[in-house]
Structure 1
Amino acid sequence: MTIYEIRLANTRHLLREKGLMLKDLAQRMNKAPAQISSFAGASAFKSIGNQIAREIEHAFDLPRGYLDTPHEGHANGTVLGNTGRKLPVIGSVAAGAWCEAVDNFAPGDAEEWIEAPGPVGPNAFILRVEGISMEPKFLEGEKVVIDPSLEASPGHYVVARRMSDHSVTLKQLRQEGSELYLYAVNPNWPERIIRMSEDWHICGRARWKIVDL
């Protein structure tokens, strides 16, 4: 397969995987539906070039270069899952140590390991949600893939560590003017806003939520 065929197969699979249509992709990329159809539709007549590939990856929150690589495990060449990479499942207490020294985390330090649902950075881990400050977005006991290699921007969900007491929290990163805040989405949580100061360090960005069935 050429790189253009790989990109097309990956894009079409992403749409099927997420139950989206071409118009949904057009909305995500802020483009006209006809433009999307020209390179991803059933009668596509244009190739997905480098710039469009990077825009699609951004629209799906995928790592740069993801569309360019065949992903084994699916008939059309791509799949989110079956990565063969297992990530440690840890609670907030262990996450404090993980944020401080990620390279020292050993296999025996986690009782549970779960296969990564997609491509992640070398220091990714799975955080088991504790508490109710992020309900209903994240429920207590749910598992969230945290990837320190991803850049965190306002609107993203992040794991942050307070240096003074090494406590760790999962919150949404928000911005007001030049100030950054950690925000609890639960409207009934008493302390919904924490101002980001030098005492706080972002350990990683939430990538996926893993739900047990």
Structure 2
Amino acid sequence: MPGTAMVLAAGLGKRMRPLTATRPKPLVEVAGRTLLDRALDRLRAAGISQAVVNVHYLADALEAHLKSRPQDMDIRISDERTKLLETGGGVVHALPLIGDDPFYIVNSDNLWVDGPVDTLRLLAQRWNADEMDALLLMVPLARANCHTGFGDFHMDPSGRVSRRRAGRVAPFVFTGVELVSKRLFDNPPEGAFSMNLLWDRAIEAGRCYGISHQGLWFDVGTPRARAQTEAMITHG
């Protein structure tokens, strides 16, 4: 079981305005608990002992909040105050702080509820270093709560993923949770770039896989989605 996770928390949260006018998006609360705390609590419950959190927008507020948490995890800050590096560049910048290989990457703006098996342990059980550079947690489009897109990926019977074609619908949505090898970041672009670039490279090499989430998932990207998610969580 990998012991380290990278939590992506540096985004500007523009779609969540006005809630993010005075706080970073990871500190927006859903049913009395911040999105960041919910992600870190899931990691801790799965036995992950170290989390690297990147910060940019209202970074001081994020750091202060992390210091106020119980000291039951080794939480390290990857500072992007001077330049926002996007998802891929942010992970590359944080790699010196990440000891494990493979390691988890978790977006802080989604919320998941485990199914019969702990989601993060399920990813670890499915991981095959000989075949994979990335293992993405997917949710069927029909069960992607509060999500408004047309799906992201197809999966073949072995779990190997391919992209949705333009003008089509794909059956799976990426949840923002993945298990990756450091090999995925070999020879990266400089500066800011998206994880999509690295996934496409892994897809082309046949080394990007997916697994279907067995529980619930919520895309908490807007104030409306936040309210809907809170209602569903609170009232079942």
* TM-score, normalised by the number of residues in structure 2: 0.28
